[in-house]
Amino acid sequence: MIQAMHELAATHLDPFLYERIAEKIAGLIQKRTFRPGEKVPSVRRMSLQERVSISTVLQAYFLLEDRGLIEARPQSGFYVRLQPRPLLPEPAISKPSLSASQVNVSELVASIHDAIARPDIVPLGAATPSEELLPVKRLNRILARIARESDGEEHSYGVIQGSPDLRHQIARRSVDWGCSFSEEDIVVTFGCTEAINLCLRAVAGPGDVIAVESPTYYGFLQIIESLKMKALEIPTHPRDGICLEMLDNAIQRNPIKVCLIVSNFSNPIGSRIPQAKKKELVQLLFRKQIPLIEDDIYGELYFDQERPGVCKAFDTNGQVLLCSSFSKCLSPGYRVGWTSPGRYKDEVKRLKLMNSLSTVIPTQLAISEMLRTGGYDHHMRRIRRAYSSQVQKMTEAIGHYFPNGTRVTRPRGGFVLWVEFPKTVDTLELYRKALEAKISIAPGSLFSPKQLYRNCIRINCAHPWNDKLDLAISTLGKLVV
Amino acid sequence: MIQAMHELAATHLDPFLYERIAEKIAGLIQKRTFRPGEKVPSVRRMSLQERVSISTVLQAYFLLEDRGLIEARPQSGFYVRLQPRPLLPEPAISKPSLSASQVNVSELVASIHDAIARPDIVPLGAATPSEELLPVKRLNRILARIARESDGEEHSYGVIQGSPDLRHQIARRSVDWGCSFSEEDIVVTFGCTEAINLCLRAVAGPGDVIAVESPTYYGFLQIIESLKMKALEIPTHPRDGICLEMLDNAIQRNPIKVCLIVSNFSNPIGSRIPQAKKKELVQLLFRKQIPLIEDDIYGELYFDQERPGVCKAFDTNGQVLLCSSFSKCLSPGYRVGWTSPGRYKDEVKRLKLMNSLSTVIPTQLAISEMLRTGGYDHHMRRIRRAYSSQVQKMTEAIGHYFPNGTRVTRPRGGFVLWVEFPKTVDTLELYRKALEAKISIAPGSLFSPKQLYRNCIRINCAHPWNDKLDLAISTLGKLVV
């Protein structure tokens, strides 16, 4: 049913359709057809009535929510707001041009990463977790014990696919995100970075076109660049992720070899693809025989009650290559990531052998032990609360200090915010000025191969809130104007 | 002078030239012009007299030595032997065809690596060090202390280029092999495998031709294959390495983008390029503007008095990318390698960021500590003696058990032997039969993109000698016939 509607919607495809629907509803609210506190038509009803997809209606409603006209009530629907909301509006869905690009964004990235190591810099640039929120003492104790009790096995090259213990622990937990892996399904890698590298190389080659979200994680763009592939930006909503109609459209016009996305709490815009839409995405790509590389590195950092599922959960034929790591939750320095590459496992394993042979063993065993004993769950409850609160505080500070016309995302997980300034602001210039003031930010153009988003920045909220951060945001607010 | 001679030799280039020179001398010995115990003409004199290069004369003399007709006496020259030597002869210089190949050797490699983990298999296949000869206890103690005393820094992403402590220790030791690095010259990697990967990607792209030794380490061929580059095999002598005349010739006929070699105790044939020839190699490649990737992973495992130098020592313009790791000496499982990539450093660093972001920190610090305290030197003296003795014992067992017509290399370092059976032997079949008998060997065709060397195998001598190994070689000897 939804399928048919989607296809229908695709026949009169229009990126501005949702805006027109939003305006229609806004008009009805203004005319008091729908009054404050009253329910607006359900998403399903509007989709049938307007002959458009569920996604399009949702985008329209999110836009109205941004403008403070309606609000979502859990398990009920959307209602006309009693009064305007105090939050800054969200950025709108992105509108990148639909042609593939050679990628070249690496100039700034090294300097942003180098800033991490400088204690005099306020680190709002790189998306690194705070050491204060990592289970440093516990991991240290575990690693020391592993080293003390080692019988020498930790010093061998080890199994190429990764420690069976660790793979077992990951497989055991895969039910949390809707999968049911066995340890044989998993290949351990040096962080998510190596996993994405190997998966891209398993399914695509030089010159091939990779569909990515817009904006997307600059690390993806760098990997694509280094592999001499091309990136094609697909419009992406800050709330519900990549636009399926536009993706479908792009697939018809371009030889897309693989789609690469962050399904939950994407970096940088924090979007989370709803479960039904994840299923639609997998089905769309299945019909087109295009593999999906899904990065779920932020999936465990959810702020609401439930751990969101992954696209991989809807994968019936092994076309989804799920990638993740423990760098955001446990320890970046341990460099332990993994992939469950579906039908591409043999190729990924072969590339792992050629890329780095095998993964460091003692740190794999330390992570495995942390997962086995439950120390992980306790730790995760703590940092989810912390990140949720820090994102909230950062959002408030941005609302307070940043100029009128600023928009900011409202992620329900992860630890980055995406800030959209008025069009006149040049954030590359802001980046340089901020660095002089000893504040590191990530300028928006990094997140697009076409260097769109020149008026945007990404802010890392991983560090516990303090006066230094407050002052940094206040300083940034002054530098913008 | 040597230069001029080389160029002269190149003008009437003939891969069989050295054989003709050898025959000439052999004839003179037979005619008793040179009698047992008498000195044959010096290499320099023969090179002038025959108007050929020093290398060609040396190859001729090595061949005569193989046949038991002459012997080298240190600091003196070559003498007619009093009686035939009991050792098996060395293999001759390789004669691969001189066209580049798409590479595909990965089928067997995974099975050879998987055999490492099986305790029921006698591990003569993979070139892995023996756990019994690694400083397991000492490294464990160091790692445990690092973990206990960690203040959290070990858990950050760390510096992309690698731990400054470790880079300092490597730089300090670089004088041992003729270099004078600063820590800024070095990029730490996940083993030599990642270093070779990054260096190849820094200087070449898909479709490019890479000159390699013949036979060469199959891992190189796999990396070249995975990067969609092509390998071109250059004839290589089991004693003094890659043939410069043939390399020069190949450069004139092929668009060679980079040359990739193991300069000291090469894998699999154990060749060590003499210092003067290393200099000539660097000069030749400098004239042709071709970078050299030099793998020195076995350089520290020398059996004679002196640590051999590296080609990099003669690099005056940053065109040599030296790669190594601690996997053969200290711990494969720690995955700590490095490269000093000369003028390509920025590109290698950029690729490191994209390939795996940064290197695991605690294991880097453990290796650094081992280098700093001198524990490394003590350990290395011990394992050099052990490997020398094990290679000797393996050579004797091979001489005892293997059929007539078998040849074997005489490496002066490292821990692998290259065995050449009579042409009728098919070592792929031997590989399968041996695996049934629970013995893993590396069949020769793995070491050549054209799958030459079907009558050769590589034998790992890293394991302390025992009856099980003796029995395995005896079994292999029976399986060959």
Q: For residue B51, give the CATH number of its domain.
A: 1.10.10.10
Provide mean pLDDT across the span A35-48.
Answer: 84
Q: What is the CATH number of the domain that holds B267?
A: 3.40.640.10
Find where tokens 């995406």 sit. Answer: A418
pLDDT in the model for residue B1: 37
Average model confidence (pLDDT) for chain A? 90
pLDDT in the model for residue B11: 40
Strand A256-262 and strand A209-214: the pairing is parallel
Q: Work out the percent of chain A whose per-residue pLDDT is above 90.
A: 68
Q: In terms of domains, do A231 and A291 share one?
A: yes
Q: In terms of domains, do A286 and A350 share one?
A: yes
Domain that holds residue B299: 151-376
Q: Work out the percent of chain B whose per-residue pLDDT is above 70.
A: 94
Domain-embedded: residue A146: no
Q: In terms of domains, do B187 and B312 share one?
A: yes
Nearest to A360 among B152, B222, B335 (CB): B335
Nearest to B354 among A152, A222, A361 (CB): A222
Choose between B270 and A89: higher pLDDT: B270
Query: Which value, in Å, is the radius of gyration of the alpha carbons in chain A?
Result: 22
pLDDT in the model for residue A119: 80
Range from A173-177, A347-351, B21-25, B270-274 carrying the lowest mean pLDDT: B21-25
B141 contacts in chain A (CB < 8 Å): 147-148
d(CA B28, CA B39): 12
CB contact under 8 A, B362 and A143: yes
pLDDT in the model for residue A139: 96
B222 contacts in chain A (CB < 8 Å): 353-354
Provide mean pLDDT across the span A196-218.
Answer: 97
Average model confidence (pLDDT) for chain B? 90
CA angle B394, B395, B397 (to 5 degrees): 65
Choose between A26 and A255: higher pLDDT: A255
Provide mean pLDDT across the span A203-226.
Answer: 95
Domain-embedded: residue B137: no
Q: What is the CATH number of the domain that holds B110?
A: 3.90.1150.10
Q: In terms of domains, do A171 and A286 share one?
A: yes
Domain-embedded: residue B141: no
- What is the ipTM, given to two decimal places? 0.80
pLDDT in the model for residue A29: 83
Helix, strand, coil content of chain B in percent (nearest 5)? 50, 15, 35
In this predicted structure, the answer to whether residue A358 has a pLDDT above a threshold of 80 is yes
Query: Which value, in Å, is the radius of gyration of the alpha carbons in chain B?
Result: 22
Provide mean pLDDT across the span A79-97.
Answer: 74
* Position B151 confidence tier, pLDDT thresholds 50, 70, 90: confident
Closest CA to B338 of B182, B202, B167, B221: B167
What does the longest C-alpha to C-alpha distance in chain A come to? 77
* Position A105 confidence tier, pLDDT thresholds 50, 70, 90: low
Q: What separation in angstroms does the CA of B456 have from each of A23, A211, B424, B429?
A: 77, 47, 11, 12
Domain-embedded: residue B261: yes
Range from A34-48, A132-146, A417-431, B106-120 carrying the lowest mean pLDDT: B106-120
Provide mean pLDDT across the span B209-227.
Answer: 95
pLDDT in the model for residue A424: 94
Provide mean pLDDT across the span B203-215.
Answer: 97
A205 contacts in chain B (CB < 8 Å): 206, 228
B139 contacts in chain A (CB < 8 Å): 155
d(CA B391, CA B397): 10
Closest CA to B363 of A295, A331, A348: A331
Mutation for B interface: A105, A131, A138, A140, most B CBs within 10 A: A140
Closest CA to B360 of B381, B331, B388, B401: B331
Provide mean pLDDT across the span A373-398.
Answer: 93
CA of B154 to nearest chain A CA: how many angstroms apart? Answer: 6
pLDDT in the model for residue B65: 85
Q: In terms of domains, do B338 and B201 share one?
A: yes
Domain-embedded: residue B95: no
Q: In terms of domains, do A204 and A56 share one?
A: no
CA of A323 to nearest chain B CA: how many angstroms apart? Answer: 14
Q: In terms of domains, do A356 and A383 share one?
A: no
Q: Work out the percent of chain B whose per-residue pLDDT is above 90.
A: 68
Q: Tokens standing for A127?
A: 């998306």
Provide mean pLDDT across the span B109-126.
Answer: 80
* Position A148 confidence tier, pLDDT thresholds 50, 70, 90: very high
CA of B226 to nearest chain A CA: how many angstroms apart? Answer: 7
DSSP state of A413: B
CB contact under 8 A, B357 and A193: yes
Q: Tokens standing for B373?
A: 């305290």
Q: In terms of domains, do A175 and A309 share one?
A: yes
Query: A441-465, pLDDT tens digit by residue?
Result: 999 999 998 889 999 999 999 999 9
d(CA B224, CA A352): 14
pLDDT in the model for residue B241: 96
Query: A367-377, pLDDT tens digit by residue?
Result: 999 999 989 99
Q: In terms of domains, do B389 and B369 share one?
A: no
B113 contacts in chain A (CB < 8 Å): 157, 160, 353
Nearest to A140 among B150, B160, B193 (CB): B150
Q: In terms of domains, do A193 and A216 share one?
A: yes
pLDDT in the model for residue B20: 86
In this predicted structure, the answer to whether residue B4 has a pLDDT above a threshold of 90 is no
Domain end marker among A342, A373, A404: A373
Q: In terms of domains, do A452 and A307 share one?
A: no
Domain end marker among B327, B355, B376: B376
Provide mean pLDDT across the span A145-149.
Answer: 93
Choose between A65 and B100: higher pLDDT: A65
How many domains, in total, are found in chain A? Answer: 3
pTM here?
A: 0.82
Provide mean pLDDT across the span B320-339.
Answer: 97
Domain-embedded: residue B427: yes
Q: In terms of domains, do B455 and B357 share one?
A: no
Query: B8-35, pLDDT tens digit by residue?
Result: 344 445 667 888 888 888 888 877 777 7
Range from A28-37, A344-353, B241-250, B371-380 carrying the lowest mean pLDDT: A28-37
Instruction: Say if residue A268 is preceded by a cis peptide, omega within 30 of 0.
Output: yes
A153 contacts in chain B (CB < 8 Å): 131, 333
Domain end marker among A80, A110, A141: A80
SS3 of A303, please? coil
Domain-embedded: residue B90: no
Domain-embedded: residue B260: yes
Helix H or strand E segment including B208: none
